[in-house]
């Protein structure tokens, strides 16, 4: 089967940009990725655009602006994992031999405040059951019951990620915080305080995928590429999307009931297991991870679901300092969603952009020395969970 490489990446910073449209941000990210890959018009044969709130033909609007249309452009929605879903479709099309080179990008401009999702039915909203952060809090409470996690552990995740985010020019929050201040921020839903929750925001990210043998930057005879020095390619080892299995009451499918059964695997575990198999690696091979830290407890739960530690050991891994920069397995060296904010459609591809820089060795202050194997993880409503493995 054809191997898939990442030939270029681009990003528009994550934050709030009153003077910029979602299309403006998409253009910035797409231009960046195309420039790195040395692509001009005709250089990619299909485009997949991830967005959850962008509305009709978001991808077409971006590519129309830069005069690059005619090929199939498909908008993809899979909640927080939309970018992972788009990446899976693009990579699959290349592996199947349908295309040599595919553009995958994500764009988002989220409404402010607590996310209103069309996911909930009116009776659920009217009953007060459409309170998205409350579901995060219920998961956090269970993690405290099952894994010995305390509010101090939750605060330490925020302190770690915000410390990492200081050096990420594309992050929304670039100041350090201490645990006392985190625990003093407003209580939203016990045990989660405001600073333990990520902020929905705006941004865009783009990735050029190409078959390992040819395509972008390789001087295609059909045109579509330009000469010049290119950054090193990164191998896409796996791009896996999974949904939930029925039974778990607190998985991201947000059911109104579930079974008293702890054996149902989480969607993130399903995606990670498949991605490890596809990439031919295990969690012990990972050098750097970007994971879904929608809230501080979600990051700790992800450690267990991705196999970074055994079930029940998230608190111990956290205490060990293993997941901070300089630790055994740094998690969210970008600062995570807690620093960057979460523009749903751009979020997963933003992780991929940052990890491509890690594997190229040009991640600057937050570089994980010698990183060769990286994992990006997103999970959210649907349920949708995506796991991407990158290698060099």
Partner 1 sequence: MAHRETAPDGGATGVAVSVREGLFTDTDPPRLLGSRCQACGRHHFPRHDTCPYCTAEGALPVELSGTGVLWSWTTVTIAPPGYGGDVPYGFGVVELPEGLRVVTRLTETDPSRLSAGQRMAMVVVPVRVDDDGHRVVTYAFAPQDPR
* Residues noted as catalytic: 80
Q: Cβ of residue 245: shortest distance to partner 1, in angstroms?
A: 9
Q: Cβ of residue 136: shortest distance to partner 1, in angstroms?
A: 9
Q: Choose the binding region for partner 1 from 224-232, 254-262, 282-290, 335-343 (rule: CB under 8 A).
A: 254-262
CB burial of residue 116 (10 Å; 0-12, 13-18, 19+): exposed
The neighbour count for residue 146, using CB atoms within 10 Å, is: 14
Contact call for residue 149 and partner 1 (CB under 8 A): no
Q: Cβ of residue 41: shortest distance to partner 1, in angstroms?
A: 42
Among the listed residues 129, 179, 226, 322, the single contact to partner 1 using CB under 8 A: 129
Whether residue 358 contacts residue 333, with contact meaning beta carbons closer than 8 Å, is answered with yes
Cis peptide bond N-terminal to 383, omega within 30: yes
Pairing between β-strand 234-242 and β-strand 384-391 as defined by DSSP bridges: antiparallel
Instruction: Give the number of residues in contact with partner 1, rule: CB under 8 A.
Output: 40
Radius of gyration of the chain (CA): 20
Contacts of 24 by beta carbon, 8 Å cutoff, 6+ apart: none
- Is 87 or 300 the residue whose CB approaches partner 1 more closely? 300
Contact call for residue 19 and partner 1 (CB under 8 A): no
Strand partners, 4: 211, 236
Buried b (16+ CB within 10 A) or exposed e, 167-183: bbebbbbbeebeeeebb
Contact call for residue 249 and partner 1 (CB under 8 A): yes
What is the contact mask toward partner 1 in residues 351 to 380, using x (rule: CB under 8 A)?
------------------------------
List the structure tokens of 17.
């940009």
Contacts of 32 by beta carbon, 8 Å cutoff, 6+ apart: 8, 9, 10, 11, 206
Contact call for residue 263 and partner 1 (CB under 8 A): no
- Is 21 or 117 the residue whose CB approaches partner 1 more closely? 117
Q: Choose the binding region for partner 1 from 31-39, 52-60, 124-132, 304-312 (rule: CB under 8 A).
A: 124-132
Residue (of 179, 160, 152, 149) closest to 332 by Cα position: 160
Measure CA 235 to chain center: 17
Instruction: Return d(Cα 350, Cα 204) in angstroms, integer.
Output: 7
Buried b (16+ CB within 10 A) or exposed e, 285-317: ebbbbbbbbbbbbbbbbbbbbbbbbeeebbbbb
- Is 139 or 357 the residue whose CB approaches partner 1 more closely? 139
**Interaction with partner 1 in 103-122: which residues (CB under 8 A)?**
114-117, 120-122
Q: Cβ of residue 88: shortest distance to partner 1, in angstroms?
A: 25
Q: Cβ of residue 139: shortest distance to partner 1, in angstroms?
A: 8
Contact call for residue 42 and partner 1 (CB under 8 A): no
Contacts of 222 by beta carbon, 8 Å cutoff, 6+ apart: 42
Among the listed residues 259, 312, 364, 369, the single contact to partner 1 using CB under 8 A: 259
Among the listed residues 92, 96, 126, 321, the single contact to partner 1 using CB under 8 A: 126
- Is 84 or 200 the residue whose CB approaches partner 1 more closely? 200
Among the listed residues 130, 224, 341, 380, the single contact to partner 1 using CB under 8 A: 130
Q: Which residue has the tokens 């205490």?
A: 319
- Is 95 or 142 the residue whose CB approaches partner 1 more closely? 142
Contact call for residue 265 and partner 1 (CB under 8 A): no
Contact call for residue 262 and partner 1 (CB under 8 A): no
**Interaction with partner 1 in 162-221: which residues (CB under 8 A)?**
187-192
Q: Cβ of residue 113: shortest distance to partner 1, in angstroms?
A: 8
Instruction: Return d(Cα 290, Cα 49) in angstroms, integer.
Output: 21
Contact call for residue 150 and partner 1 (CB under 8 A): no
Counting Cα atoms < 13 Å in the Cβ hemisphere of 98 gives 14
Which residues contact partner 1 by CB under 8 A? Answer: 114-117, 120-123, 125-132, 134, 137-139, 141-142, 145, 187-192, 246-247, 249-250, 255-261
């Amino acid at each position: 089967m054809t191997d898939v490489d990442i030939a270029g990446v681009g990003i528009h910073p994550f934050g709030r940009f009153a003077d910029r449209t979602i299309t403006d941000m998409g253009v910035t990210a797409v231009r960046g990725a195309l420039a790195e890959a040395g692509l001009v018009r005709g250089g990619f044969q299909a485009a997949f655009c991830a967005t959850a709130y962008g509305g009709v033909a978001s991808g077409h609007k971006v590519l129309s602006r830069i005069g690059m249309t005619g090929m199939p452009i498909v908008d993809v929605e899979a909640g927080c994992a939309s970018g992972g879903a788009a990446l899976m479709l693009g990579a699959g099309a290349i592996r199947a031999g349908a295309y040599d080179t595919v553009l995958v990008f994500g764009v988002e401009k989220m409404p402010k405040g607590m996310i209103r999702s069309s996911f909930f039915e009116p009776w659920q909203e009217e009953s007060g059951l459409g309170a998205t952060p409350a579901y995060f809090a219920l998961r956090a409470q269970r993690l405290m019951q099952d894994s010995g996690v305390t509010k101090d552990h939750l605060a330490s995740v925020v302190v770690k990620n915000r410390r990492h985010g200081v050096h990420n020019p594309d992050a929304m929050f670039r100041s350090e915080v201490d645990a006392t201040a985190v625990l003093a921020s407003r209580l939203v839903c016990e045990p989660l305080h405001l600073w333990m929750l990520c902020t929905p925001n705006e941004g865009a990210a783009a990735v050029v995928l190409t078959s390992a043998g040819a395509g972008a930057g390789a001087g295609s005879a059909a045109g579509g590429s330009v000469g010049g020095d290119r950054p090193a390619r990164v191998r896409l080892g796996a791009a896996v999307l999974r949904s939930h299995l029925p039974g778990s009451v607190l998985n991201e499918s947000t059911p109104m009931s579930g079974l008293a059964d702890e054996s149902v695997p989480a969607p993130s575990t399903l995606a990670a297991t498949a991605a490890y198999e596809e990439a031919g690696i295990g969690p012990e091979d990972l050098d750097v991870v970007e994971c879904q830290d929608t809230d501080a407890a979600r990051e700790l739960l992800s450690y267990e679901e991705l196999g970074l530690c055994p079930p029940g050991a998230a608190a111990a891994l956290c205490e060990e300092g293993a997941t901070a920069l300089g630790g055994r397995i740094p998690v969210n060296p970008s600062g995570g969603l807690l620093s960057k904010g979460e523009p749903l459609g751009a979020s997963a591809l933003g992780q991929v952009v940052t990890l491509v820089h890690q594997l190229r060795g040009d991640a600057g202050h937050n570089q994980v020395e010698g990183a060769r194997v990286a994992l990006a993880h997103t999970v959210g409503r649907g349920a949708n969970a995506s796991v991407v493995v990158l290698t060099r």
